[in-house]
Amino acid sequence: MNRLCQATVPLLFLALVGSPAVAQPEPSFDLSAAEAAEVLDAMAPTNAALVYYQIFLQPTDPRLIGARYFYEGEEIDEQTIEYAGMTPEEGKQVLIDAQDSIEKYIWAASLPECDFGLQYQDGWVMLLPHIQKLRDICRTLSADAYRLAADGEYDKAADRLEAIYNIGQQIKDDRVLISSMVSLAMAAYANSGVQYMVEHDQLTEQGRDRFITKLEAIQTDDPFNLLDSMVMENTISLGWIARELAEGRSAEQLMELLQDADNPAMTFRMDDKDNRNASRSIEKATLLQDAERMSEYYKQVVAFWNDPDAVTKLEALGAIAEIGGFGEIGRVLTSATSRVKQSELVFATDLDDTLDALYAYRPTAGTDDAKADDSDTVSPSTPAATDPASQR
């Protein structure tokens, strides 16, 4: 064997079998305290969904709902206090007492994976129990960010807003439209907090740079997986209908579910009364044909999505769908993608504005002058007509 072959054989072997695996530390009686800590870190979950499910199972302080009233853009007056069921000072303390939970939210939001194990095979009756709970978590994170910013804890406030962006990016991987739209809404929600902190000089240089990095990463062609979600929604409907019919469910029963189910595919259905009276006396073969006609609608939506006049084209497609041009199923499920596109465009403008504000921002937060100015800042937890949160 020549020298070249002798040198190549070990390399080929490594390419085939891979490099030797690095041994992971294991629990042992022989570990030092520092080594034991490393073992625990190595064993920590990487799937955020598992952490969120554990969080959901724990009781949440019901007073958090009231405490958030003081940090959600409403002027603090007697009516706000009545709705909250507590004083602003009490609301602030509720958030302070919730720090262990909030730190857990932030950690879960930082994890690299988030698979909620959605049961796509359930089709139109698939459950999405995590969405509302994550929205509530984001509202709590936002409220705490405003509290901390008012108290001069700027980087901690930024941690909470960054976690909102992260949660939104996690749930977009659900691959259903409602999750993608909630992902978009969470990012817009965090944008408003970042803009507020810029306007009130509440970002440190580190905080500014973190947000620039985060928002530049979001600034992609499809930051919320909207296109992939439409492909998946179509697949869910097609596959589920075929399976349910094969297992003996009648076409009429499926049409009843189409009208009444609260599920991801229903999220953007039309609201008009005609949908409630849609014909349910449909044959199985016709139902399958309808589902396939709906696929043609989604194909055209994806083809038009990035065109300059996408909204106009999608509105025209929706008008065709509304009169049954893509079948009865398509008439109910597919008419509102123009509104989805419009929401994406509005967000893109908002994202550009937020980034422009960050690029232009020259932080003074954390300097002696800024700390002196902080003494004159009205905290959102103080009842006043000029509550900063109301200026968002």
State pLDDT tens for residues 74-116.
Answer: 678 888 888 889 999 999 999 999 999 999 999 999 999 999 9
Residue 322, domain member (yes or no): yes
Distance, in Å, from the CA atom of 127 to the CA atom of 377, rounded to the nearest integer, reads 45
Q: Which of 36-40, 292-296, 297-301 has the highest mean pLDDT?
A: 297-301
| Residue 336 binned pLDDT confidence (cut-offs 50, 70, 90) | confident
For residue 380, give every residue at least 6 positions away whose Cβ sits within 8 Å of its Cβ, in sequence order, or none.
70, 71, 76, 88, 146, 147, 150, 387, 388, 389
- What value does the mean pLDDT of the chain take? 84
Residue 126, domain member (yes or no): no
Return the DSSP state at 336.
Answer: T
* Listed residue (139, 160, 158, 165) closest to 198, CA to CA: 158
Sign of the CA dihedral with 43 first, then 49, 51, and 54 last: negative
Q: pTM of the entire structure?
A: 0.82
Tell me the pLDDT tens digit for each residue of 228-273. 999 999 999 999 999 998 888 888 888 877 766 544 444 444 344 4
For the cut 90, the answer to whether the pLDDT of residue 21 exceeds it is no
Sign of the CA dihedral with 220 first, then 226, 230, and 233 last: positive
Q: Report residue 155 as tokens.
A: 């980087």
Residue 309, domain member (yes or no): yes
* Listed residue (111, 94, 104, 113) closest to 54, CA to CA: 104
**pLDDT reported for residue 28:** 86
Residue 276, domain member (yes or no): yes
Identify whether the C-beta of residue 347 lies closer than 8 Å to the C-beta of residue 184. yes
> Mapping DSSP to helix (H, G, I), strand (E, B) and coil, where does residue 160 land?
helix
Tell me the pLDDT tens digit for each residue of 193-237. 999 999 999 999 999 999 999 999 999 999 999 999 999 999 999
Residue 263, domain member (yes or no): yes
More confident residue, 264 or 61: 61
For residue 368, give every residue at least 6 positions away whose Cβ sits within 8 Å of its Cβ, in sequence order, or none.
none
Identify whether the C-beta of residue 334 lies closer than 8 Å to the C-beta of residue 298. yes
Tell me the pLDDT tens digit for each residue of 167-187. 999 999 999 999 999 999 999
The structural domain count of the chain equals 1
* % of the chain with per-residue pLDDT over 70: 80
Residue 282, domain member (yes or no): yes
For the cut 80, the answer to whether the pLDDT of residue 309 exceeds it is yes
Return the DSSP state at 47.
Answer: B
Q: Report residue 69 as tokens.
A: 């009233």
Residue 305, domain member (yes or no): yes
Distance, in Å, from the CA atom of 303 to the CA atom of 145, rounded to the nearest integer, reads 40
Identify whether the C-beta of residue 206 lies closer than 8 Å to the C-beta of residue 358. no
Tell me the pLDDT tens digit for each residue of 127-181. 999 999 999 999 999 999 999 999 999 999 999 999 999 999 999 999 999 999 9
**pLDDT reported for residue 335:** 64
Domain range for 325: 227-342
Identify whether the C-beta of residue 160 lies closer than 8 Å to the C-beta of residue 196. no
